[in-house]
């Protein structure tokens, strides 16, 4: 349960102000059909994060544990820095027009799946699956975290975005990822000493 909750919280915080949340705002404004948008976001996120969690689990099988600890710790610390860099929405507006002919569900599914490739939340999913050794719980947690962050964006739109202290949320998220990175290293070396 801790794996699910931590994955949910980490991705929820990462998603606030992220390009995919901004994409959800744009899709809601363009199509004005929240239910098919949410279903497409759920489907795209489940597929993307499922594949990401499998990749994270696989990496733990092919990379030696000592090397993996360093990769995970440095990855979480890099995520902390990345959390402090704001995303923009210019590219996303152009992408919507390109895929609009596929309809609300099709455009949203493709745009979300593609936007998640290499995104903070996808990389966090890979790292969390490697850290916690649970594909299902991590995938479920990260997917629910995305939906909790993007669902209100779809329904409330720009009104919500204007009222959230996004910079503060990003700093809090950065602190959490930094702490996880440091604790990952400390835990490994503490157990090696004792």
Average pLDDT over residues 22-34: 81
> Among 44-48, 65-69, 102-106, 141-145, which is the least confidently predicted range?
65-69
| Assigned token pair, 24 | 């959800």
pLDDT at 110 over 70: yes
Higher pLDDT among residues 147 and 164, named by residue: 147
81 exposure class (CB count in 10 Å sphere: 0-12, 13-18, 19+):
exposed
Residue-level pLDDT at 139: 95
CA of residue 88 relative to chain centroid, distance: 16
Residue-level pLDDT at 116: 87
pLDDT at 127 over 90: no
| Assigned token pair, 124 | 């966090």
Average pLDDT over residues 17-27: 78
Residue-level pLDDT at 97: 66
Average pLDDT over residues 88-115: 76
What's the mean pLDDT when you consider all of the chain?
A: 80
Residue-level pLDDT at 158: 47
Answer positive or negative: Cα dihedral of 52, 53, 59, 65: positive
Percentage of the chain surpassing pLDDT 70? 75
Higher pLDDT among residues 29 and 113, named by residue: 113
pLDDT at 125 over 60: yes
Contact 83, 120 (CB under 8 A): yes
Residue-level pLDDT at 18: 74
Rounded distance, CA 66 to CA 38, Å? 40
Q: Please tell me the pTM assigned to this model.
A: 0.73
């Amino acid at each position: 349960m801790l794996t699910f909750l931590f994955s949910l919280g980490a991705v929820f915080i990462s998603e606030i102000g992220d390009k995919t949340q901004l994409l959800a705002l744009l899709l809601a404004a363009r199509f004005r059909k929240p239910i098919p948008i949410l279903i497409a976001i759920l489907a795209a996120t489940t597929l993307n994060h499922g594949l990401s969690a499998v990749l994270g689990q696989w990496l733990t099988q092919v990379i030696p544990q000592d090397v993996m600890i360093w990769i995970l710790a440095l990855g979480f610390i890099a995520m902390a820095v990345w959390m402090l860099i704001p995303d923009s929405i210019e590219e996303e507006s152009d992408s919507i027009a390109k895929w609009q002919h596929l309809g609300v569900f099709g455009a949203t599914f493709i745009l979300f799946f593609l936007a998640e490739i290499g995104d903070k939340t996808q990389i966090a999913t890979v790292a969390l699956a490697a850290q916690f050794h649970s594909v299902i719980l991590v995938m479920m947690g990260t997917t629910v975290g995305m939906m909790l962050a993007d669902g209100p964006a779809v329904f409330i739109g720009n009104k919500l975005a204007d009222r959230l202290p996004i910079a503060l949320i990003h700093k809090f998220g950065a602190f959490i990822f930094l702490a996880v990175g440091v604790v990952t290293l400390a835990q490994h070396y503490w157990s090696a000493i004792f």
